[in-house]
Amino acid sequence: MEYCFGVDIGGTTIKMGLFSRADGLLQKWEIPTKKGTDPKPLLGDIAEEMEKCLSQNGIKKEEIAGVGMAAPGPVNEDGLLRGAVNIGWGDVFLGEEAEKIMGISPVFIGNDASFAALGEYTFGAGKDASSLIMITLGTGVGGGVVLNGQILMGKTGTAGEIGHTTINPFETLSCNCGKKGCLEQYASATGMVRMAEKFLKESDKPSTLRQFDKITAKELWDQAKNGDEMALDIAIYVSRLLGMAIANACYIVDPEMIVIGGGVSKAGQFLLEMVQRAYAENVFPHCRDKKFALAKLHNDAGIHGAAAMVFEKR
Ligand SMILES: [Zn+2]
């Protein structure tokens, strides 16, 4: 059993990868996500793609050690996916459903950000670390914790959800999760844009950001790098919140390193250093020089983590 599939189910596309134990990723591709309340049609699409892939490569089903599947929602330690709002699903034992439809077992499921963290830990930026926290800055703020090769899932699947740690108890607007004052409301791509718009509205200071009809997180960071004072203020503001949340997480987990990924992390070293500085201001002196790194696997972190899960368990 030298092969496995790594699958990462997203809100718009499903990423799939065929992996071998010896050589890692052999082949990867994407299919569109079939939304709806019933996961069976989507699982049927994945099963069909797997069959096609196996016959194209002359691989028998018996040679597949298993499937790892990352899902966009919390997964508890019993394998229950506690809903995936972006797709339309409620609570579902996704692994069991998938095994029936795919005719392959076992199917390991996990939260997408947690699997991305495991992917970076096993194949990417965290290859040499014994433990890490990964934070994904995208449309939302995802998080995953890997300790000694194991994803920390937690009793209810809440472990690692750093994006929903409360950083402002006085916030009046609600987060997507229904709570108020979550890190995600400030430090996701959407949150950063919201902050930028707020800063610009509340001041009449000139800024190159004012030339854009619609500001994006990329423009915010580009303008900050170019030295625009207002953009820099906003970047520092969101970085301080991120650094603070990471510091708080480190008081509980204290991992060897912090990995930052997701679309916003394309702002690179500039963003990383700003967050690291803010982190250092919020921890004990002996904890200050923790390793910070940018993610390496980008969109492929999820399928890599899913595959790592299979090869580690089998
Ligand atoms: Zn939230």
**What separation in Å is there between the alpha carbon of 191 and the centre of ligand 1?**
11
How many angstroms is it from 18 CA to the middle of ligand 1? 34
| Contact status, residue 257 vs residue 86, Cβ threshold 8 Å | no
Q: Is the pLDDT of residue 24 over 70?
A: yes
Measured in Å, residue 48 CA sits from the centre of ligand 1 at 35
What letter represents residue 124's amino acid? G
Q: Is the pLDDT of residue 77 over 90?
A: no
Question: pTM above the 0.85 mark?
Answer: yes
What's the gap in Å between 162 CA and the centre of ligand 1? 9
Domain architecture of the chain: domains with CATH: 3-118+300-313 (3.30.420.40), 129-295 (3.30.420.40)
Burial classification of residue 253, based on how many CB atoms lie within 10 Å of its CB (0-12 exposed, 13-18 middle, 19 or more buried): middle
Q: What is the distance between the terminal CA atoms of the chain, rounded to a whole angstrom?
A: 9
- Ligand 1 mean position, distance from CA 177 (Å): 4
Centre of ligand 1 to C-alpha 31, Å, is 29
DSSP 265: G
> What is the average pLDDT across 171-195?
96
State the pLDDT confidence band at 112, using cuts at 50, 70 and 90.
very high
CA of 62 to the centre of ligand 1 (A): 42
Compute the average pLDDT of residues 214-229: 97
Distance 85 CA to ligand 1 centre (A): 13
Mean of all residue pLDDT scores within the chain: 96
Instruction: Spell out which residues have Cβ within 5 A of ligand 1, the ion.
Output: 164, 175, 177, 179, 182
Q: What's the 184 CA to ligand 1 centre distance in angstroms?
A: 6
Q: What is the pLDDT of residue 291?
A: 97
Percentage of the chain modeled with pLDDT above 70: 100
At residue 254, what are phi and psi to the nearest 5 degrees? 45, 60
Percent helix, percent strand, percent coil in the chain, to nearest 5: 40, 25, 35
Render pLDDT for 48-71 as a digit per residue (tens, 0 to 9).
999 999 999 999 999 999 999 999
Span from the CA of 190 to the centroid of ligand 1 (angstroms):
13
Pure H helices in the chain: 40-57, 94-102, 112-123, 184-187, 189-201, 217-225, 229-250, 269-280, 301-313
Q: Around 275, how many Cα atoms within 13 Å sit in the side-chain half-sphere?
A: 28
Distance of CA 249 from the midpoint of ligand 1 (Å): 16
Rounded mean pLDDT, 184-209: 97
Q: What is the mean pLDDT of residues 300-306?
A: 97
CA distance 266 to 271: 9
Phi-psi region of 259 (alpha: psi -120 to 50; beta: other; left: phi over 0): beta
Expressed in angstroms and rounded, the spacing between residue 163 Cα and the centre of ligand 1 is: 7
- pLDDT on residue 1: 67
Q: Tokens standing for 125?
A: 């930026």
Q: How far away, in angstroms, is 207 Cα from ligand 1 center? A: 30
Section 241-250 average pLDDT? 98
Residue 250 has pLDDT above 90, yes or no: yes
Q: Confidence band (pLDDT; 50, 70, 90) for 114? A: very high
Q: Using alpha carbons only, what angle is made at residue 47 by residues 92 and 154, rounded to the nearest 5 degrees?
A: 35
Residue 14 CA to ligand 1 centre (angstroms): 24
Is residue 97 a contact partner of residue 39, using CB atoms and an 8 Å limit?
yes
Distance (Å) from CA 87 to ligand 1 centroid: 18
Cα(78) to ligand 1 centroid in Å equals 23
- Confidence check: pLDDT of 236 > 70: yes
Mean pLDDT, residues 111-115: 95
Q: What is the pLDDT of residue 134?
A: 98
CA of 235 to the centre of ligand 1 (A): 21
